[in-house]
Amino acid sequence: MAMVYAVGVGPGDPELLTRKAERILRSADVILAPVSLPGDASVAHETVKEFVDEARQELIIHQFPMTSDKSRLIPAWQEAAALIADRVAEGKTVAFITIGDPLLYSTFIYLLRIFRENYPQISIEIIPGISSINTAAAVAGVPLAEAEEKIVIIPATAGLPAIAEALAAYETVVLLKVKPFYADILELLRQTGRSESSLFVERVGSARQLILSDISAMAAHSPDYLSLMIIRRP
């Protein structure tokens, strides 16, 4: 039966793909991979390209602008949903691939809302993926939480006051999208005494993976967009 699969492909290491995700990717008629800028390579597609046969399967690279401007984002979401709906109407199975997990800070969340509102007849199955958060903790050997400890995930774009509040209230703070406020975050860690219990991880699971635990090394580094920090209470 023609349907849509949202497939979480993990953080960038093909070996961290689930067996179910691989099976869906090998059998789908159409693969839709997101990019932020025209001409960019899709990280999700690069992760799974060994499982995709472009001679047999249609590959669609669709741009989702990296912006908070809804006047640009909503048309991109709607266009992607329409492309997928058209393929399903032709009797094809479509796999939308996303790094990490489809329901954790993923573009697919917005498409899911559009499908439920505009295409309720289309069946959707979501295949969970391993998040960069879990992978970063694993490669660094850093516990995320134990016993009664509390953990919070915050996009750094929420602002420094929100980050400071989280540091005061939670044993573990995971910061995503740290690049735009990187220097300010490092200064906040120094001020709050967290600089010695912080971990910076970039492009986890890929050949470009970088792990830094020394605050001086962090300060000397210019972060990639796909970076996060795990901050533990000392």
Rounded to two decimals, the pTM is 0.92
Q: What is the pLDDT of residue 187?
A: 97
Q: In the chain, which residues have pLDDT < 70?
A: none
Q: At the fourth CATH level, which superfamily is domain 132-232?
A: Tetrapyrrole methylase, C-terminal domain (3.30.950.10)
Q: What is the pLDDT of residue 183?
A: 96
CA 26 to each of CA 14, 108, 124: distance values in angstroms, whole numbers, following the listed order = 13, 20, 17
Q: What is the pLDDT of residue 207?
A: 87
Q: What is the pLDDT of residue 180?
A: 92
Structure tokens at 185: 């975050």
Domain positions in the chain are 4-127, 132-232
Q: What is the pLDDT of residue 151?
A: 98
Q: Does the domain formed by 4-127 have CATH 3.40.50.920?
A: no
Q: What is the pLDDT of residue 36?
A: 86
Q: What is the pLDDT of residue 68?
A: 83
Q: What is the pLDDT of residue 52?
A: 96
Pairing of strands 198-202, 210-212: antiparallel
